[in-house]
Structure 1
């Protein structure tokens, strides 16, 4: 009898009502107290803008909301979308799910440069196995695209079709890239390593120096590959 009671109590403790994990696209009480802000509520595109500043509208053939995720289907033409606000010191988190071969990314410190146009530092999201742009280490998942590679030995990535969680932490000149709770890249903007990486990249002629801006928008990239995002959130540090 005692054994049955213990099993029953364990079942209650493990039930959703007692779980500390929030439902998708919501914040836990702890996250709310830590001043996290949802950037996607699972129902609307509120807070996201197009390149021309207009409000993003979910529509067939573009960005759609499917099963609680902000989604681009194969061959969709939704265009890149951006947060309405700019961020300097921040922590960003999102879950993503891609299909085999997808190549996309999330850009931060997105800014209009005096020379080079509109650019951002890109947390590369790609199928490392089948993605077409997988030949360089600094083009693989978790890299600062075309500038710095991730630490491959640290990466624990679920395959296409499964969800992964990324995190970007930017404080002062220090930036960290995380995948599924593991830090895969840390760099200091303006350091020799960083500047050497920029000098060898396609951003070498950008002015002012690429990635050295104080703040910018966050961008979800439309790179013509299927991708879905959920649990998109940010907090100012």
Structure 2
């Protein structure tokens, strides 16, 4: 359903980015991430999270549709999934687009460590009606050329056109857990379809 909403191409070109049991195809810091019940779990409920951490794909993608499920546990949850992103050398941060989740940023498109601002976002009151705070949610991220679209639980939250030609149109995918209080971000069913 969500794939059809987002204009997904045929299933034959779909790539499973996470096999549910190993970190094959991903790179750390692994100390901030674990695999549990077929999911990648970022963060912990037993201690504050001192800094942003990102688990990223080794492979680079340009035009694609990314679909994944997530849930977050904790009092003040904050996480996101980076795309068309790259790691900053000798630093824990990355730079690039983020499909944001948590707080007042549900369904928003954030520009991590580049413009450091929300580029586009939904009517938060409308989106909060479809957010499941106790269980799994589904995100769809579609990036083709300068056009970026986000869907959260079937609701389109972002339809953005990048006007800056210097912004890279390719990069890694990275799962984030944000610094702050104890929390966990769970990710599963991470699939990507390349777009021609």
Task: Give the whole-Å Cα distance in 2 for the aligned partners of 1:152 and 1:228.
Answer: 22
Q: For residues 39-54 of structure 1, what are the structure 2 equivalents within 5 Å?
A: 39-50=17-28
Contact 1:123/1:144, CA 8 A, preserved across alignment: yes
Alignment-derived partner of residue 142 in structure 1: 107
Alignment-derived partner of residue 85 in structure 2: 110
Alignment-derived partner of residue 213 in structure 1: 168
Task: Give the whole-Å Cα distance in 2 for the aligned partners of 1:181 and 1:159.
Answer: 12
Structure 1: 4+ residue segments shifted above 4 A: none
Number of residues of Structure 1 aligned to a counterpart in Structure 2: 168
Gaps of 5+ in 1: 1-30, 51-55, 129-133, 135-139, 196-207
Larger displacement relative to structure 2 (217-226 or 167-176): 217-226
Residue 62, structure 1, aligned to residue 32, structure 2 = yes
Contact 1:154/1:184, CA 8 A, preserved across alignment: no
Structure 1 residues 102-127: Cα deviation after superposition (integer angstroms, max 9, x where no partner): 101111111368xxx8401111111x
Q: For residues 15-26 of structure 1, what are the structure 2 equivalents within 5 Å?
A: none
In the superposition, the TM-score normalised over structure 2's length comes to: 0.75
Structure 1 residues 22-62: Cα deviation after superposition (integer angstroms, max 9, x where no partner): xxxxxxxxx98431111111111111113xxxxx65xxx63
Higher strand share: 2
C-alpha spacing 1:69/1:165, structure 2 compared with 1 (3 Å): same
Q: For residues 30-109 of structure 1, what are the structure 2 equivalents within 5 Å?
A: 33-50=11-28, 57=30, 62-72=32-42, 73-74=44-45, 75=47, 79-99=53-73, 100-109=75-84
Task: Give the whole-Å Cα distance in 1 for the aligned partners of 2:79 and 2:94.
Answer: 17
C-alpha spacing 1:32/1:47, structure 2 compared with 1 (3 Å): farther
C-alpha spacing 1:32/1:170, structure 2 compared with 1 (3 Å): closer
Q: Which has the larger radius of gyration?
A: 1
Q: Report which structure shows greater RCO (CA 8 Å, sep ≥6).
A: 2
SS in 2 for 1:226: strand
Task: Give the whole-Å Cα distance in 1 for the aligned partners of 2:157 and 2:80.
Answer: 15
| TM-fit CA distance, 1:220 | 0.6
Contact 1:110/1:118, CA 8 A, preserved across alignment: yes
Gaps of 5+ in 2: 1-8, 111-116
Residue 121, structure 1, aligned to residue 97, structure 2 = yes
Structure 1 residues 126-175: Cα deviation after superposition (integer angstroms, max 9, x where no partner): 1x3xxxxx3xxxxx111112222223365243332211000100111111
